[in-house]
A and B are shown apart, each in its own frame.
Chain A
Amino acid sequence: DTEVTQTPKHLVMGMTNKKSLKCEQHMGHRAMYWYKQKAKKPPELMFVYSYEKLSINESVPSRFSPECPNSSLLNLHLHALQPEDSALYLCASSPRAGGFTGELFFGEGSRLTVL
């Protein structure tokens, strides 16, 4: 069982909806990540939080809005998405931020379908 928990596991939304993806880890990890993965492609980095501060934003459209309320939680707020945003959204964490961070621990992902 993964120690990074993502909810919901599946989400179907219309292009005018607002929804949020949630991620939680209780391993005391100091860096948290959002990745987007399309079928038969590797994960694509969206955002990185280090010590609860946004450290990397890979030019993601503003219809995706990350939030890190505390060191254990990471949210991804979704608004006015497009059908091409349908993908598996993966949350991950690593023990340390910067330098030798250790490996990435992934959640099971939230499979998003935009109609």
Chain B
Amino acid sequence: RKEVEQDPGPFNVPEGATVAFNCTYSNSASQSFFWYRQDCRKEPKLLMSVYSSGNEDGRFTAQLNRASQYISLLIRDSKLSDSATYLCVVKDTGNQFYFGTGTSLTVIP
């Protein structure tokens, strides 16, 4: 069983749409949670950390459900520039970060 499971997509959505990505993790002792964005042939970049109370950054909202071991990312009013791969990342109590397979998003004009 993988540490982090993520729907690989692809998600193809029109501009202005709302899209949601989900991720589950297997280790209940996991400590920190993140969404990273990776553009083609570039390095991953932190989009946002995910907190138990949920957090929002502009058009992006992240949620964490520790009981269900589930993380989500909601993107509202999608822009063409949101097209990328979104990686769910979970950290254990040591130095190990676990990556989901990534979800590919294409926003269509």
Q: Which residue of A lies closest to B6 (CB)?
A: A42
Determine whether the beta carbon of A42 is less than 8 Å from that of B43: no
Determine whether the beta carbon of B102 is less than 8 Å from that of A42: yes
A27 close to chain B: CB less than 8 A: no
A9 to B32 Cα, complex, angstroms? 30
Determine whether the beta carbon of B95 is less than 8 Å from that of A108: no
A115 close to chain B: CB less than 8 A: no
In the assembled complex, which residues on chain A have CB atoms less than 8 Å from the CB atom of B32? Answer: 100-103
Q: Which residue of A lies closest to B102 (CB)?
A: A42
A11 close to chain B: CB less than 8 A: no
A105 to B93 Cα, complex, angstroms? 18
**Contact check: which of A45, A94, A106 meets B44 at CB < 8 Å?**
A106
**Contact check: which of A55, A99, A103, A109 meets B34 at CB < 8 Å?**
A103
Determine whether the beta carbon of A41 is less than 8 Å from that of B101: yes
A12 close to chain B: CB less than 8 A: no
Task: Report the contact-size class of chain A (Cβ under 8 Å from the partner).
Answer: 20 to 34
In the assembled complex, which residues on chain A have CB atoms less than 8 Å from the CB atom of B80? Answer: none
In the assembled complex, which residues on chain A have CB atoms less than 8 Å from the CB atom of B46? Answer: 103-105
A78 close to chain B: CB less than 8 A: no
Contact A103-B95, Cβ < 8 Å, known A42-B100, A90-B43, A108-B42: no
Residues 59-107 of B contacting A (Cβ, < 8 Å): 87, 89, 91, 93-97, 99-102
Contact A108-B94, Cβ < 8 Å, known A99-B31, A100-B32: no
Determine whether the beta carbon of A100 is less than 8 Å from that of B96: no
In the assembled complex, which residues on chain A have CB atoms less than 8 Å from the CB atom of B36? Answer: 104
**Contact check: which of B43, B49, B89 meets A108 at CB < 8 Å?**
B43
Q: Which residue of A lies closest to B48 (CB)?
A: A103
In the assembled complex, which residues on chain B have CB atoms less than 8 Å from the CB atom of A98? Answer: 93-95
Give me the interface of A with B, judged by CB distance under 8 Å: 2, 31, 33, 41-43, 45, 48, 50, 55-56, 88, 90, 94, 97-109, 111
